[in-house]
A and B are shown apart, each in its own frame.
Chain A
Amino acid sequence: MLHIKCPHCGLRSQNEFSYGGDATVKRPELNKEVSDKGWDNFVYLRKSPRGKHLELWQHISGCRQWIKVERDTLTHEIFKTLKANEEA
């Protein structure tokens, strides 16, 4: 079980969090033209990297904040955690 440092609450067990996928995906802006391909990329296509991955977790059983976690998908090492508004 991972030990994740919520930037708001501190170190907590993984079972307080829920996983939210790739944190580098940017939603296309509202009311902007998006190509079919661009939209498909946003909705469906995700990389499955082996190694460092910046991902979203929500501290659902804690402060309910969405946070960013830089984690190694192979070793589970967590390099850093960030608030939603912080850039990696």
Chain B
Amino acid sequence: MSEIFRLEKGGLINRNKKLSFKFNGKKYFGYEGDTLASALLANGVHLVGRSFKYHRPRGFFGAGVDEPYAIVQMNRNNEVDPNVRATEQELFEGLEAKSVNCWPNVDFDIGAINNFLNKFFPAGFYYKTFMWPKSFWYKIYEPIIRKAAGFGAASIKHDKERYEHKYEYCDLLITGSGPSGLATAYAAAKNGARVILAEDKSRFGGSLLTSDVTIGNQSGQEWAEKIISELKSMPNVIVKNRSQVFGYYDHNMLVMSERVSDHLPKTDKYIPKQRLWYIRAKEVVISSGSIERPLVFGNNDSPGVMLSSAAKEYLKVYGVLVGKKPIVFTNNDSGYETAIEFKKNGIDPIILDTRKDANSEIIKEAKELNINIKFSYVVVAAKGYKKVNSADIAKISDDKKNISNIENIKCDCICVSGFWTPTIHLASQSGNKTKFNEEIDAFIPSQSKQKETTLGAANGVFTLEETIKTSFKKGSELSKQITNKESKVSIPTVVEKKSSNHDKFWCVPLPEGKNYKRFLDFQNDVAVSDIYLALREGYRSIEHVKRYTTLGMATDQGKTSNLNGLQLVSEVENKVVPQVGHTTFRPPYTPVSIGAIVGREIGKHSKPTRKSPMHYWHEKNNAVFVDAGVWLRPRYYKQGNEDLFEASKREAKNVRQNVGVCDVTTLGKIDIKGPDSAEFLNRVYTNAWLKLPVGKARYGVMLREDGIVMDDGTTTRISENHYHMTTTTAQAANVLSHLEYYLQLVWPELNVNVVSSTEQWAGAAIAGPKSRDVLQKLFPDLDVSKEGLPFMGYMEGNLFGVKAKIYRISFSGELAYEVNVESDNGNYMWEKIIEIGKEFNIQPYGTEALSTLRIEMGHVAGSELDGRTIPYDNSLEGLVSKKKDFIGKRSLSKTAYVAPDRQKVVGVIPLDKKTSIPEGSYIVKDAKAKLPNPKLGHVSASCWSVEYDNPFSLAIIKDGKNMIGQKLFALSPLKNKTIPVEIVSSHYVDPKGERVRS
């Protein structure tokens, strides 16, 4: 099909570059500079989608962000992009798009049967109909509704496009490059302010691109071009097109979405598809203009019915006629401008003006052009199913209550203008208390809450002269406060045609006996009758009416429907609009893709990955890694065909029999220095610290103020006023903040400094009966004998030329040492340990074996210190000092904490000595008791004991102290298991702790 609706010349498109594209599988041509919408219209394509609820045929209604209908599914770069507005999508060579919300296709849509059954789809339909029977919801109702409703289908594939985030600061952020935005930006930039000017369209200039005005001897469009090119050349100005400021947040933080390469056939590898800007602005100027309001009449959603401003934009910007036999239906002078443009291009429009009479320069021009104008006339209903082919028009009485002389006239489009609605979304988001302006029947910003000013049409000012004047002034004023500079800018003279007053009439009454659907919300299919119904059913608050009818809740956020909805409610309720009030505007102003919100923080970039200095050795030696917080730790080292179970058993056994080495770099480490360090530790830990000698380590438990165990670890006195604290991997950051809190706020008199040293040290735990032999060979000059380096002893040594710290501490319950060297030497240390340990059958072991070793020893860890347990629960009460005070001590005397049957950690063995007990299982007395079966507690950790070769678990159960020897049941409803068990001591292996002291 050729472009039969494209004018021979005119518009801002590049006629030298023809582009081919596909819509619903069919090939068309357009030009560079077209949007998908303008290119389709040039080809006479009006039917682009089906409506949300009734599946009625829908075309184009607007030419920009306000478009409620023309939402398409894009195929670009081998990626699917759902819910793209065709009015915003710029054309590129090879573009492919298709309609959404129709099946099997847009021409023949089965869902359209809803339209003929529409009596059964009133407001609140889903709430009323699909309530019963309840069991039908998941299996029958929901899947069908989901298939029938909604717009595009999101891809289930991983999105390979690149999205970026950017942070920016500026003095003035200006949202919109129409006359007010340009004038403000220019004046502010001249005063040296750092300015960001954001325009959501590809072209700058806003209304100047389509209006017939003169600014300082230039056409509006030429003036806009001149200002923009000057702004672009200034180093203190960032000018961005295709960029929508969609959210206004606290403390003047605004977020802008830039469509960097959506208009290109393909995303460059190093250029993102979209970029999200977080902008902190000292002042914000909202110059977002206004959106034309629809008029409401029968079938006002038919393809071919559109805003008159959109028709004018298609003509002036794209050189496209939306029809060749247009009706312009208006209640103000704006419609005349569109009609005049048609006439100038050889098309004869008819103007239906709801006003009885009106006079202005614009109307005079229309009359001089011999345009057929009918005053006191309305469109009653559009006719034609998939495209308007005629309209029933009628004379309307002076009181606007009655229509007469209905006649049918042929037409191929109806351009409507119901006056203008200022775009106040951003001002409202910032907390501006908006007020209703009777003169324009719309809300405008009033009292700013943040540093924000609204100018021009967004502020309800519809004359260019005043807009230009106030914007130059405001831009200069606001910037002067920031930069203290003032350079004179002369305000250009403006020539524009004066308008007459608009008519407040906007909703055409139904003719007798007719039941036409008259739509308010075009995207969510909310008609006048739905509002009547909601009010009849007792909904009063506009917020409730909105939710019940879904008015203004679609992806266009009611840009074209909100005010008409409000006017209707206030009319029926006999209130004035400000009494009804508008619903809250919330970000985003336009839909934002999830990809842009996520940015680069995706997949492995969603959090940092920390690797120990020995990581590559682990990798080379077949380690299977596991996430431990942000760290990657070896879970086990795979040999041959081993699985997790076999490998971890082998590794743990080797520690018990020979010697193993484990990477413990991830442990949190905090360096503590200062003369009051001992006193501080004494307050932080539950046990006594004042008498710990230099060169000794001690195990400590710290509580929160509520008595719950926060963390545990060993702390070593390196020298008189220097301690080395270790924390669990998970709690490292919290413990540091906790210590800083007490030092800075509670006990500032203590002279102590703390700093994280986690990343400064690489650590290796050497554990097992032969660990001393390995250590001795690593440090031949040191006396590491039982007496020379006793349990909980500390030494410094020289590991083949590298400074090392040796702590005799044990998590595995075996004779064990932890060797720390500076991170850079970590791998060197590790390789030495493996090399020297070879003759003692050393093997590396991972976190799984580490867990096995600690569980069968009854050492508590994260799964027991789970933020719900006190020291007693973990059998750590021996470490709680009775003599001194410490953080959380006062809480330990709470009634529940001293109850005689208080929960306690115990060991659990299955009676058959074979069945592993799932972690999280309940411990119950009677497996067959009626539900809910009273539980005694839960299994916190499970392993396969390598010492006894049977399953062993730890559990925290009520009255654990007196439960030893009892036969109970472990119940796992998740795994559907009931396991008879015996409760034993949690210290399953070496209960006297002889090995660690050997």
B449 at the interface (CB under 8 A from A): yes
Are B745 and A56 touching (Cβ within 8 A)?
A: yes
Which residues of chain A have C-beta atoms less than 8 A from B706's C-beta? 43-44
Pair A3/B253 contact, Cβ less than 8 Å: yes
State A11–B250 Cα separation when bound (angstroms).
14
Q: Once the chains are docked, how many angstroms separate the CA of A2 from the CA of B280?
A: 10
| Least distance between A35 CB and chain B CB atoms (Å) | 10
C-alpha spacing A58/B705, complex, angstroms: 19
Residue of A nearest to B890 (CB): A39
> B741-753: contact bitstring with A at CB < 8 Å (1 yes, 0 no)?
1001110100000
> Which chain B residues in 746-765 approach chain A with CB under 8 Å?
746, 748
Query: Do B885 and A66 have beta carbons less than 8 Å apart?
Result: no
In angstroms, Cα B737 to Cα A47, docked, is 23
Please, which residues of chain B bring their CB within 8 A of the CB of A1?
249-251, 253, 278
B599 at interface (Cβ–Cβ under 8 A)? no
Closest Cβ of chain B: how far from A59's Cβ, in Å? 10
Q: Are B280 and A3 in contact (CB under 8 A)?
A: yes
CB-defined contacts of B746 to chain A, threshold 8 Å = 27
Q: How far apart are the CA atoms of A64 and B736 in the complex, in Å?
A: 10
**CB-CB nearest in chain A for B756:** A64
Closest 5 CB pairs of A and B: A3-B251, A30-B885, A84-B744, A76-B250, A31-B885
| Contact partner, A58, options B249, B278, B740, B748, Cβ 8 Å | B740
Chain A 1-20 per-residue mask, 1 if CB under 8 angstroms from chain B, else 0: 11100000000010000101
Tell me whether B94 is interfacial, beta carbon within 8 Å: no
A60 contact set on B, CB distance < 8 A: 737
Cα separation A78 to B891 with both chains bound (whole Å): 35
Query: Assuming the A-B contacts A27-B746, A39-B891, A75-B431, are A66 and B253 also in contact, with contact meaning beta carbons closer than 8 angstroms in the complex?
Result: no
Are B748 and A85 in touch, CB under 8 angstroms?
yes
- Give chain A nearest CB distance to B598 CB in angstroms: 16
* Bound Cα distance A20, B742 (Å): 12
Q: Does B240 contact A (CB under 8 A)?
A: no
A-B contact count (CB 8 A): 52
Residues 32-54 of chain A, each 1 if its beta carbon lies under 8 Å from chain B, else 0: 00100001001110000000000
Bound state CA distance, A60 and B449, in angstroms? Answer: 29
Chain B CB within 8 A of A28 CB: yes
Please report the C-alpha to C-alpha distance between residue A57 and residue B278 in the assembled complex, in whole angstroms. Answer: 22
Interface residues of A (CB under 8 A from B): 1-3, 13, 18, 20, 27-28, 30-31, 34, 39, 42-44, 56, 58, 60, 64-66, 75-76, 78, 84-85
Interface string of B698-713 (1 = CB under 8 A from A): 0000000110000000
Residues of A contacting B745 in the complex (Cβ-Cβ under 8 angstroms):
56, 66, 84
The answer to whether B744 touches A66 (Cβ under 8 A) is: yes
The answer for the CA separation of A44 and B891 in the assembled complex, in Å, is 11
Q: How far is the CA of A76 from the CA of B251 in the complex (A)?
A: 8
Give the docked Cα–Cα distance between A40 and B414 (Å): 71
Whether, in the assembled complex, B502 has its beta carbon less than 8 Å from a beta carbon of chain A, the answer is no
Q: B316: which A residues are within 8 A, CB to CB?
A: none
- Knowing A30-B885, A58-B737, A65-B744, say if A43 contacts B250 (CB, 8 Å): no
Q: Is B635 an interface residue when CB atoms closer than 8 A count as contact?
A: no
Show 17 residue pairs from A and B whose CB-CB distance is below 8 angstroms, ordered by the A residue. Answer: A1-B250, A1-B251, A1-B253, A2-B251, A3-B250, A3-B252, A3-B280, A27-B705, A34-B890, A43-B705, A58-B737, A58-B740, A65-B744, A75-B431, A76-B251, A78-B251, A84-B745
B383 within 8 A of A: no
Q: Known: A2-B250, A39-B891, A76-B251. Contact between A20 and B741, CB under 8 A? A: yes
Chain B residues within an 8 Å CB radius of A65: 740, 744
CB of B683 within 8 Å of the partner chain: yes
Which of B249, B744, B746 has the most chain A CB atoms inside 10 A of its CB?
A: B744
Give the shortest distance, in Å, between A87 (CB) and chain B (any CB): 12
Q: A1-B250, A3-B280, A30-B885 are in contact. Are A66 and B741 (CB under 8 A)?
A: yes
Which residue in chain A gives the minimum CB-CB distance to B704? A43
Fill in one digit per residue for B273-295: 1 if any A CB lies within 8 Å of its CB, else 0: 00000101000000000000000
Q: How far is the CA of A27 from the CA of B280 in the complex (A)?
A: 37
Instruction: Specify which chain A residues have a CB less than 8 angstroms from the CB of B737 in the assembled complex.
Output: 18, 58, 60
In the complex the two chains form, what is the Cα distance from A24 to B885 in whole Å? 23
> Roughly how many angstroms separate A31 CA and B679 CA in the complex, as a whole number?
14
A3 to B281, CA, bound (A): 11
- Which residue in B252, B278, B705 is a CB contact (below 8 Å) of A42? B705
Contacts of A31 in B (CB 8 A): 884-885
Contact check, A84 vs B280: say whether CB atoms are below 8 A apart: no
A43-B891 contact, Cβ under 8 Å, with A3-B251, A64-B740, A66-B740: yes
Q: Which residues of A contact B744 (CB under 8 A)?
A: 65-66, 84
* Shortest Cβ gap from A17 to chain B (Å): 11
Shortest Cβ gap from B732 to chain A (Å): 13
Task: Give the CA-CA distance A27 to B743 in the complex, in Å.
Answer: 13
Q: What distance in Å separates the Cβ of A88 from its nearest Cβ neighbour in chain B?
A: 14
Q: Do A28 and B250 touch (CB < 8 A)?
A: no
Report how far A34 CA is from B748 CA in the complex, Å.
22
Using A2-B251, A43-B705 as known contacts, list a sample of 16 further A-B pairs with CB atoms less than 8 Å apart, ordered by residue number in A.
Answer: A3-B250, A3-B280, A13-B253, A13-B280, A27-B705, A27-B746, A28-B890, A30-B683, A34-B890, A58-B737, A58-B740, A60-B737, A66-B741, A76-B251, A84-B744, A84-B745
Cβ contacts under 8 Å, A84 to chain B:
744-745, 748
Report the separation of the CA atoms of residues A56 and B250 in the bound assembly, to the nearest whole angstrom.
Answer: 19
Q: B679 → chain A, closest Cβ, in Å?
A: 10
Residues in A with CB closer than 8 Å to B705 are 27, 42-43
